Amino acid sequence: MFFRTFAVVLIVNRKIKVLIYMINLVLFGPPGSGKGTQAEKLVEAYDLLHISTGDLFRFNMKNDTPLGQEAKRYITKGELVPDSVTINMLKARVEETPDVKGYIFDGFPRNINQSEHLDKILAERGGQVDGLLMLDVEEKEIVARILNRGKTSGRADDNDEEIIRNRFQVYQNETSPVFDYYDKQEKSHKIDGIGSIDDIFARLSDVIDSL
């Protein structure tokens, strides 16, 4: 599969300039929907940069950056890290990778405020969110997947059905409005998240290739 770029040829002062447009995707879905697995395949197929919120937090805290230190102050007190910290981490990552063909955002945005800031960050570079791809998996399947993962993950929360269901409800209540935000821009796409890894990847690719 080859990555498709979009180019516009301009003639400025008798010189030809070719503008290449990136493609930026939000990979969306509840915990256990398979975002991480599909992100790896999409990165390889479309030559995009995968930006995971979890990876950003781990990198900044491990390297004791100013943003990592700020995040730790909230986490050690058992408080939620403010949007401003997460947004600044993501903005810094985008700014230090100006030459990529596009991004896959995973775990961001989580709410409308983050969505609006993501739009601004990309607009500053002449880009936009081209598509939100939601892996649609029902709660029953999510619970089964995570409980199965818990057999080898070593995470206590992967073995507690009540916690798993609570995480799903948090997603439904707080994060799913992001789908509606981009749906109003006609950018949201719901993809069946049930089936083999390759089948799901093919569905995602069909949508991306149509953008």
CATH at residue 37: 3.40.50.300
- 166 lies in which domain range? 25-210
Structure tokens at 11: 């003639």
Q: Is residue 10 part of a domain?
A: no
Yes or no: say if 149 and 158 are a contact pair by the CB < 8 Å rule: yes
* Residue 72 is among the residues annotated as catalytic for this protein: no
Q: Is residue 2 part of a domain?
A: no
* Residue 41 is among the residues annotated as catalytic for this protein: no
Q: Is residue 61 part of a domain?
A: yes
Yes or no: say if 24 and 102 are a contact pair by the CB < 8 Å rule: yes
Q: Is residue 74 part of a domain?
A: yes
* Residue 4 is among the residues annotated as catalytic for this protein: no
Q: Is residue 17 part of a domain?
A: no
% of the chain with per-residue pLDDT over 90: 73
Q: Which of 72, 101, 149, 165 is catalytic?
A: 149
Q: Is residue 7 part of a domain?
A: no
CA distance 177 to 185: 13
Listed residue (117, 62, 47) closest to 86, CA to CA: 117
- Reported as a single tens digit per residue, the pLDDT across 18-63 is 344 579 999 999 989 999 999 999 999 999 999 999 899 999 999 9
* Residue 93 is among the residues annotated as catalytic for this protein: no
Yes or no: say if 53 and 104 are a contact pair by the CB < 8 Å rule: no
Q: Is 25 exposed, middle or buried (0-12, 13-18, 19+ CB in 10 A)?
A: buried
Q: Is residue 62 part of a domain?
A: yes
* 98 confidence band (pLDDT: 50, 70, 90): confident
Q: Count the domains in the chain.
A: 1
In this prediction, residue 75 carries a pLDDT of 84
* Peptide linkage before 98 cis (omega within 30 of 0): no
Yes or no: say if 134 and 187 are a contact pair by the CB < 8 Å rule: no
% of the chain with per-residue pLDDT over 70: 90
Q: Which of 4, 58, 120, 155 is catalytic?
A: 155
Q: Is residue 11 part of a domain?
A: no
